[in-house]
Structure 1
């Protein structure tokens, strides 16, 4: 087995998404993980969902996103201040739920020489689930930091972390991640 070369993904911690979730714990723990990863030299990439004005990326067939076409939401997305990227950390704009579909994130991860993804983000039933499934299909090892993710539905969040996601990812937490770096 190849030694893990990790990359930390900080996903959908953006103003318009965090506003619809109780994300305080996930933000606080992700901040700690982010600081530890940077100190350990682990590369960090950010992912946000966003669209161009007029939403040319959104098909009327896309149930998740077609409803926002008339709202003006998710245009020019930015990461919340508490977790803002520093110079050199890429911010990937995605147009779908998962971070790997149709983005340049795979190229960035290749440049990082990463074969192991550490996932943080909002929401468990959205970006975490979709990214985990595709990352596993792409042969990445995946670790989800359970206290660095959140969902608007606690029952769905718990079900995914205990029943579905362990099939394709290691479920851990911020203290274990930080402790392993020491």
Structure 2
């Protein structure tokens, strides 16, 4: 087991990552999850979900623009983790109320309970949950690895710039194959 390491699988939910369900991205996410499970690395799933009517969001919130484009009601099918990824019931599911995985969630408590010191990030979208979580994790002194090919963004150029130029500033950026080989 890689002591203190946790894999965060973020926003792989029907309403956000559903368009990627039948792509190679999901194969790589499944590979990362399988590797984590096989080596004793906890997998923590993160999704964004809001209460009915979105009382968490004032009308002036920039996040309201994002929320209004999709159904983020916590009871909706759109907020459920994609079936193709095979989330296990014994793997924590963290509900967040904003873009970053730490924002409006109990992720910090879950990570503390798991003894986490290093986070491995996978998620959709690269410019959203991955970027926001990467930034907060670095500020909280976690070691961070971004799995570049287990992340995706609607804009491939944004994904490329973040994974090739930005994330390496304060983290390791690896493919799933390279992470497994380590």
Is the structural similarity TM-score above 0.5? Answer: yes
The answer to whether the aligner puts 1:7 opposite 2:20 as a matched pair is no
Q: What's the counterpart of residue 130 of structure 2?
A: 128
- Asked whether the equivalents of residues 46 and 93 of structure 2 are also in contact (C-alpha less than 8 Å), the reply is yes
Structure 1 runs not aligned, ≥5 long: none
Matches within 5 A, 1:16-95: 16-20=15-19, 24-66=23-65, 68-69=67-68, 73-76=71-74, 77-95=79-97
Structure 2 runs not aligned, ≥5 long: none
* Structure 1 SS opposite 2:67: coil
The 10-residue stretch of structure 1 (127-136 or 86-95) with the greater mean CA deviation from structure 2:
86-95
**CA deviation digits over 1:66-124, x for unaligned, max 9?**
4635x770112110001132121111111110001221001110111010000001010
Distance, in Å, in 2 between the alignment partners of 1:68 and 1:143 is 28
* Runs of 4 or more above 6 Å deviation: none
Q: What's the counterpart of residue 101 of structure 1?
A: 103
* CA shift for structure 1 position 26: 2.0
- TM-score under structure 2 length normalisation: 0.90
* CA shift for structure 1 position 25: 2.4
Q: How many residues align?
A: 177
Distance, in Å, in 1 between the alignment partners of 2:101 and 2:149 is 19
* CA shift for structure 1 position 23: 7.3
The alpha-carbon distance between structure 1 residues 55 and 98, as it changes in their structure 2 partners (threshold 3 A), is: same
Q: What's the counterpart of residue 169 of structure 1?
A: 171
